[in-house]
Structure 1
Amino acid sequence: MHKMLQLWYNEDDLNDSKRRNIVLNHVIRTTMAYLDSMPKTKRKKIGQFFTSLETARFMAGLFVIPEQKHLDVLDPGTGSAILTAALMERLSRYSELKSVSLICYETEPAILPLLRDNLDYLKDNVPFKLNYTIISENYITSQQNPKPIADLVIGNPPYLKVNRQAPEACAMPQVIHGAPNLYFLFAARSIENLRDRGQMVYIIPRSWTSGAYFKAFRHFLFGNTALEHMHLFVSRDKVFEQESVLQETMIIKIQKAVPMPQSIRITSTETTHDFQKMQIQVVPSKLVVKQDENQYVYLVTNPADVDTLECLSILPHTLPDLQMKMKTGLTVDFRERGHLFDVPAKDRVPMFFSQHLKDGRIVFPVGKHGEFLDTRKRSLLQPNENYLFVKRFTAKEEPRRLQSSIYLQADFSQYQEISTQNKLNFITGIKKPLSTFLVYGLYCLFNSTLYDRYYRILNGSTQVNSTEVNTMPMPSRDGIEHLGQRLMETEKLDEATCEYILEEYLNGENRRSEKIS
C-alpha cells in the first residue's frame, strides 16, 4: 500500500540548477536588503513573509511543464518575486518555450519598486520573451468575475486572519465557513484563475486540512482540482527562519479539472535547507483524503503513519454514532474571576483544569487559584457524571498530543454538578451518562500510541479540537466497553498497557473481518 522512493533529484539536476541560478540569486540578494530596511512588525501586520531560496526552487520543481511555446503564469501576492524567479529559472531549461506572460499581484507600496527592478532583471536574463504586468489592486476583491487566465500559478499568500465582514470574505462566500484567513481565500481565487489542466503550487499553513472552519474551502478545492503532491516541514520554526515565524506550514501541488489520482506523493523534510534528505512516499489517495462530508486531509510523513490509517480504517463508528460526543469545557476562567474561589463552600462546585489530569487520574485540589465556581453561574455548570477529560492544549515538544484522564462521578459524589475550564475537553454521553466501562475504554483508546499518532496525522497543530475528535474512527460501543473491562482488570493506566489491549482487540477484529470476507 505504500513504498519509499529514491530521491527524485539527481546530482546532474542539482549541478544544472547551480549553473542556472543567476536570476534567483539576484532576487534573493535584493530581498535580503529589503528585509534589513523594513521593520518585521510592519510586515507581520500585513502577513508578509518571504520564501527561502531552497523552498522556492523546490516549489518550482513540482510543476510538470507543458510542451507549449507560450505559457501564462500568475503569482498572486508576488512580494519581491522570489517564487516567480524560481519558476522562470526552471522554465529557462525548456528550449521549446518561446514566450511567457506573467501577471503579478502586489499591493504593498514599499516593495513595488523592488518588484519592478527584479522583474526587469528577469526579463533581461531569461532565454525566452517575458512580458509582465503588475496589478496593484486587491487580488480578491478586484476580480468581480474571475476568469481562467493562467497555465501555472505559484504563490506564497499572506497569512492573515480577517473577520467575516471583511471585503475579501464577502467576495468569496462560497468558501467561508467560520473564521476566514487570507491564505485560503487567495488559494480559492487562484483555482478560479487556473485553466483546466493548469497547475498550482502554493506554500500555505496546514490548518486547512481539518476542522470545521475550512470545510467549505476543502469542498471547493476537491470539487475543482486534484491534489497531487504535499510537502510537509517537520520543524515548524524552520520554514521562514529569517522571519522567526512559528507556523505549521506545507506545500501543495494541485491540478485543475482532472480526476483525483490513485495515489498522492507526500514528501517531508526537517527544514527548508535539506531537500536532498527528503522522505518520499506514495500513498493511496483514499488514505490521504477522507472520503466523507468533512474531506479531512491526513498529514502522512512516514510508513508508520500509513500503517496507522490502514489499521484504524476497519473501525466503522464515530463518537456521535455511539451516542457520545467530545465537548469543550464551559468556563473561560479569566472572564469569571468574580465567581471563582480557592476554597470549597456550600454554594460552590469543583472547577476542573488541565492541571488536575495526572497519570490517567484526577488529582483535586492541587492548590490552583479558582478551583471552585459559584453555583449561581448556572450556564457554566454540568452534571456530575462520568467523563473522559482530555487536554485541549499541549506543548509542541511534549511526546503525546492526546493526554486524558478518567473522571468518575463516584469520586466526587457530594456534588450534583461540576464545571470545566475551556482549555479542557470532555467526552460525555448524549442521551445517558457514560458507564464506568465506557470511560475506561475511551481512556484505553485515547491513551494508546495508535490513537495519538492518528490524531497527529489528522491535525498538525498542538490543539485537540472537538470537531476532529468526533470524526475519529471508533470501535462499537460493546467494543469500547470490552477495552474498558480489560483495562480495569489490569489495574494499570500506562500507555504500554493501553496499546497492548487495543492491539489485541484490533487483531481480533481483523480476524473476524477476514472470516466474513
Structure 2
Amino acid sequence: MLMSPLSETIYRTSSFVGSNAKADRKKYGQFFTSESIAVFMAAMFHIDMEKKSLKILDAGAGSGILSVALLSRIRESGYSGLIELVCYENDEKVLGLLAQNLASVNDSDFTFEIRGENYITSQDFGRSTSLFEQRDRETYDLIIGNPPYKKIPKDAPEATHMDELCYGAPNLYFLFFAMGIHNLKEGGELVYIIPRSWTSGAYFERFRKYMLSHCMITDIHIFGSRDKIFDGETVLQETMIIKIRKDSTRPSKIRISSSDTSDFSDLKYFDVDYDTVVSNNGYVYLVTNDQEADILSTLRKLPFTLASDDLRMKTGIIVDFRTKDVLRSEPSESTYPLFYSQHIKAGRIVWPVGKENEFIDTERKGYLQENTNYLFVKRFTAKEEKRRLQCGIYLSSDYPEYKYISTQNKINYIKCDSQEEAYGLYVLLNSTIYDQYYRILNGSTQVNSTEINNMPVPSKETICKMGKELKGTDLSQTVCDNILRKWIN
C-alpha cells in the first residue's frame, strides 16, 4: 500500500527521533510536530487560486513535516500554480532527512531550497547591521512554522541581532515569529505553533507592539492540555496555534478554537470581537466562550489599576540559596519573621508552622521590609489547583513585637495603608471573576506582578469599602463574590 508524502515524512521522522538522543534535540529547542497538528495548521491558510505562484517559508523546518502538510493541503485545494519552498534548518543531523522528505514530493511544479544557516542572523532586521554579505529581504506568501523553543542569553548572536525586541534573556521562538513577520508579504499569512507566554507581561511587550503594528490576528487555537501536544516530550508551556495576516484592515472578529487533545476530536469554535482579544493595554486575551468575554467586558469598565491606585504588587525579597547565612530555624532576640507561600492558609497568614528557616537574622535593609499590613499572594500554584490567585491577609497587629518582617521570593505582596485596604484587595483577588480573568490573561501557573498591577480595579476608596464589609466575616470565595457584585456589574 502506497503511503502519502506526509505519512512517509512522519514515518521517517519517528525513526529519526527514536535513534537520536533527546538531549541532542533539546540543544536546538527541537520538538517535532505531530501529523494531526501539521494537517490542522496547514488547513488554516487561505489559498489564493488566482496567484500564478506561491512562495512558502518554513524556518526551523526540522524534518519537513509542516512543509509537506502545507504542500498537500495546497494541491488538495485545487491550486495548480508553481510552488517555491524555502526551508531553514541548521541542525546538521536532520538536514539529510529534510532533503529526503522534500524530494519524495512528486510534483513537477514544486521546487525547494534548504538553507543550512541560522535563520535569524543570516538576514537584516530593523536597526541590526551585519558584516555578512547583505541579501535583499525576501518575502513570502505563506509562512508556516514550529519555531525552536529555547531560552538564550541576552548576548547571544540572535538576541543582539534583534535587540530592539528583546527584554532580558529572550526565547528563540518569538525571535523566529518576529523575523517571520519581517519576511511576510503584504497580504501574506503566517501560521505558527508557539507557547502562549508572549500574550502578556513586560517580557514580551516590545514583540507584541511589533507584531500588532504590522499584522492582524485572524485565528487562534488553544490546547487545553499541555502534555498531549508533542508526543513523548516534556513541555511545560501552554501551547497555542496562531494565524496572522500582514494587513492594516482590522477584522471584526477573531476565530478562537480549542481542544483538549492533539487529534482535535473535541474541537470547539468561538468567534469573538477583535477588540476583546487585542486590548488597548497591548495584551492578547485568549477567550474561549461567552462567559469569558463577559468577564473581560465587565472588568474593562473599571477606571483604575493597582498601579494607578498606588497599590503596586511586588515580589518577595529573599532568595533562599543566596541568603543562607542569615536564615534561621529558631527565633532569637535579633531575628524577624520570614514568610513563605506555605504560610498562606485559607485567606489568613499562619506563622510559624515549624518550617525550616522561618526566621531571618539581619539588619540589612535590602533583606527587610516594614511590619505593616499586606496582602500576600502565592507566586506559584499547581496546574491542577482550582484557583490561580491564592492570597492571605497579613495584619501587622498580629505580630506587634516586630519592627520588620521579610518575604521569600515565591510570594508576591501588596503593601496596604490600612486593614480595610488589605481586606478589600482580598475581596478582589479571592473572587471568582478575578481568578478567571487572570487565567484568560496568563496560561502559566506563575502569578506575574506586572500583569496583576495592570488589571482593572475599582478606586482605592471602593476597595476599602469592600474591605470594611468583609472584615469580621467568612473569607470564602462565595462571600467575596457576593461583596464584589454590589460594586461591579
- Is 1:254 aligned to 2:237, yes or no? no
Residue 306 of structure 1 corresponds to: 293
- Tell me the secondary structure at the aligned position of residue 342 of structure 2: helix
Aligned partner letter, 1:370: N
Residue 305 of structure 2 corresponds to: 318
Give the whole-Å Cα distance in 1 for the aligned partners of 2:180 and 2:119. 9
Give the whole-Å Cα distance in 2 for the aligned partners of 1:48 and 1:372. 44
Aligned partner letter, 2:344: L
- Is 1:175 aligned to 2:165, yes or no? yes
**Which has the larger helix fraction?**
1
Say if 2:237 and 2:444, in contact at 8 Å, map to a contact too.
no
Residue 16 of structure 1 corresponds to: none
Task: Give 1:486 shift.
Answer: 1.3
Aligned partner letter, 1:135: R
Residue 407 of structure 2 corresponds to: 420
Give the whole-Å Cα distance in 1 for the aligned partners of 2:332 and 2:436. 42
- Is 1:138 aligned to 2:121, yes or no? no
Task: Give 1:148 shift.
Answer: 4.0
Q: 1:106 to 1:260 in 2, by over 3 A?
A: same
Report matched runs for 1:74-153 at 5 Å.
74-122=57-105, 124=106, 126=107, 129-144=109-124, 147-153=137-143
Give the whole-Å Cα distance in 2 for the aligned partners of 1:134 and 1:44. 22
Task: Give 1:209 shift.
Answer: 0.5
Give the whole-Å Cα distance in 2 for the aligned partners of 1:475 and 1:417. 30
Offset from partner CA, 1:372-431 (integer Å, 9 cap, x none)? 111233211000000000000001111100000000111111111100000010012xxx
- Tell me the secondary structure at the aligned position of residue 73 of structure 1: strand
Aligned sequence identity (%): 49
Aligned partner letter, 2:272: V
Task: Give 1:178 shift.
Answer: 2.3
User: Which TM-score applies when normalising by structure 1?
Assistant: 0.90
Say if 2:292 and 2:440, in contact at 8 Å, map to a contact too.
yes
Give the whole-Å Cα distance in 1 for the aligned partners of 2:2 and 2:41. 16
- Tell me the secondary structure at the aligned position of residue 277 of structure 1: coil
Task: Give 1:20 shift.
Answer: 12
Give the whole-Å Cα distance in 1 for the aligned partners of 2:392 and 2:233. 39
Aligned partner letter, 1:419: S
Say if 1:75 and 1:155, in contact at 8 Å, map to a contact too.
yes
From 428, 440, 454, the equivalent of 2:423 is: 440
- Give me the CA root mean square deviation: 1.5
- Tell me the secondary structure at the aligned position of residue 212 of structure 1: coil
Give the whole-Å Cα distance in 1 for the aligned partners of 2:443 and 2:163. 26
Task: Give 1:303 shift.
Answer: 2.3
Task: Give 1:485 shift.
Answer: 1.2
Report matched runs for 1:20-59 at 5 Å.
22-59=4-41
Offset from partner CA, 1:163-201 (integer Å, 9 cap, x none)? 111100111122112221100000111111111010000
- Tell me the secondary structure at the aligned position of residue 400 of structure 1: coil
Residue 277 of structure 1 corresponds to: 266
Residue 315 of structure 2 corresponds to: 328
- Tell me the secondary structure at the aligned position of residue 501 of structure 1: helix
Report matched runs for 1:286-365 at 5 Å.
286-292=275-281, 295-365=282-352
Task: Give 1:30 shift.
Answer: 0.7
From 212, 219, 229, the equivalent of 2:202 is: 212
Give the whole-Å Cα distance in 1 for the aligned partners of 2:321 and 2:303. 40
Say if 1:69 and 1:96, in contact at 8 Å, map to a contact too.
no
Task: Give 1:500 shift.
Answer: 1.2
Residue 396 of structure 2 corresponds to: 409
Residue 13 of structure 1 corresponds to: none
- Is 1:449 aligned to 2:416, yes or no? no
Offset from partner CA, 1:257-311 (integer Å, 9 cap, x none)? 33221211111100211x242111111111111212xx11112122221121112
Give the whole-Å Cα distance in 1 for the aligned partners of 2:448 and 2:221. 23
- Tell me the secondary structure at the aligned position of residue 158 of structure 2: helix
Give the whole-Å Cα distance in 1 for the aligned partners of 2:455 and 2:147. 31
Say if 1:27 and 1:80, in contact at 8 Å, map to a contact too.
yes
Residue 237 of structure 1 corresponds to: 227
User: Which TM-score applies when normalising by structure 2?
Assistant: 0.95
Structure 1: 5+ residue runs without aligned partners? 1-18, 508-517
Structure 2: 5+ residue runs without aligned partners? 125-133
Give the whole-Å Cα distance in 2 for the aligned partners of 1:316 and 1:194. 38
Q: Which runs of 4+ in 1 moved over 3 A?
A: none
- Which 10-residue stretch deviates more, 111-120 or 238-247? 238-247
Aligned partner letter, 1:350: P
- Tell me the secondary structure at the aligned position of residue 324 of structure 1: coil
Task: Give 1:313 shift.
Answer: 1.4
Give the whole-Å Cα distance in 2 for the aligned partners of 1:310 and 1:120. 51
Say if 2:327 and 2:360, in contact at 8 Å, map to a contact too.
yes
From 478, 487, 497, the equivalent of 2:461 is: 478
- Tell me the secondary structure at the aligned position of residue 243 of structure 2: strand
Residue 128 of structure 2 corresponds to: none
